[in-house]
Amino acid sequence: MKTAEDRLAAAGCASPRLDVRLLAEEALGWSRTALLLDGDRPVPAEAQAALAALVDRRAAREPVSRILGRREFWSLEFRLAPDTLDPRPDTETLVEAALRHLPDGQRPRRLLDLGTGSGCILLALLSELPGAWGLGVDIAPGAAQTAAANAKALGFASRSAFLVGSWTDALGAGGRFDAMVSNPPYIPAADIAGLEPEVRTFDPMRALDGGADGLDPYRHLATVARGLLLPGGLLAVEHGAGQGADVAALFAAAGLEVLERVDDLAGHDRVVAARRRS
């Protein structure tokens, strides 16, 4: 195990010990407790080879969640696919913000998630809002299929639907919604080459590239929000660090009432919540 940790540390992985433990649990089928208490337990050659192959992938900077094919988010397990972003803890800030402005979870509501990816935002909201129904839209067929599979696995299939299409073009006459959420692409195009390999190599490029300044998706959201939201409806979005003021200004210029800007756990501005005035 120590050799594997050293190898991942030399490759630039941020948490080599944790990574090796997670990969060992996967390859060896041992629980965390067994790994901690029985570290000298004999390892069959086949399992050693399986672990070595997983360590090879991580040393190439493939994220552990991609290797395992799953990620925990909002205490729920989500399957991942090449077409989906790898959900980050920062995105839970968006879920928390949306829930603050959606009181009375039993109330019937229609939710819209644009760029749904794995469905993690929408399905996390449905887990807290038992009266709600949600629609997720993604341009990537693999993402929409993965989100639908996650909804089924988590027991939300009857309260959700997923469409393939480019943003609002997929909706047609889909009606209006009580809330719209999104974690759109927000990385300025010129900055993508400087991202960590885990992101620039393994996350889908169209889920990263937000145009020259990273704000193109927010301009679109500001334009379409009034037509998609019911009076008083909520628009809550994640954005990149340092973009909060610009996103809020775009929403205000479109006639939306900005409710709050929210920092993530690291203290970076991360979410803007706004409302369609009546």
Report domain extents, the chain: 2-60, 70-276
- Output the tens digit of pLDDT for each of the chain's 278 residues: 568 888 999 999 989 999 998 998 888 876 654 554 455 566 677 878 888 999 999 999 999 999 999 999 999 999 999 999 999 999 999 999 999 999 998 999 999 999 999 999 999 999 999 999 999 999 999 999 999 999 999 999 999 999 999 877 777 656 799 999 999 999 999 999 999 999 999 999 999 999 999 999 999 999 999 999 999 999 999 999 999 999 999 999 999 999 999 999 899 999 999 999 87
Query: Across the strands, what pairs with 136?
Result: 113, 162
Q: Residue 187's pLDDT is what? A: 95
Angle made by CA atoms 72, 215, 134, in degrees to the nearest 5: 45
Sign for the CA dihedral angle at 200, 205, 208, 213 comes to positive
Mention the CATH class of domain 70-276: alpha beta
Query: Across the strands, what pairs with 70?
Result: 79
Tell me how far apart the alpha carbons of residues 163 and 138 are, in angstroms, rounded to a whole number: 7
The annotation places the binding site at: 115-119, 138, 167, 183-186
Q: Residue 185's pLDDT is what? A: 95
Q: Are 40 and 52 in contact (CB under 8 A)?
A: no
Q: Residue 37's pLDDT is what? A: 43
Q: Residue 33's pLDDT is what? A: 45
Tell me how far apart the alpha carbons of residues 69 and 56 are, in angstroms, rounded to a whole number: 16
Tell me how far apart the alpha carbons of residues 247 and 97 are, in angstroms, rounded to a whole number: 16
The annotation places the binding site for S-adenosyl-L-methionine at: 115-119, 138, 167, 183
The annotation places the binding site for substrate at: 183-186
Determine the distance from the C-alpha atom of residue 4 to the mean position of all C-alpha atoms in its chain, rounded to a whole number. Answer: 29
From 35, 50, 30, 34, select the one nearest 1 (Cα to Cα).
Answer: 35
Dig out the tokens for 13 from the structure.
């992985």
Q: Are 181 and 98 in contact (CB under 8 A)?
A: yes
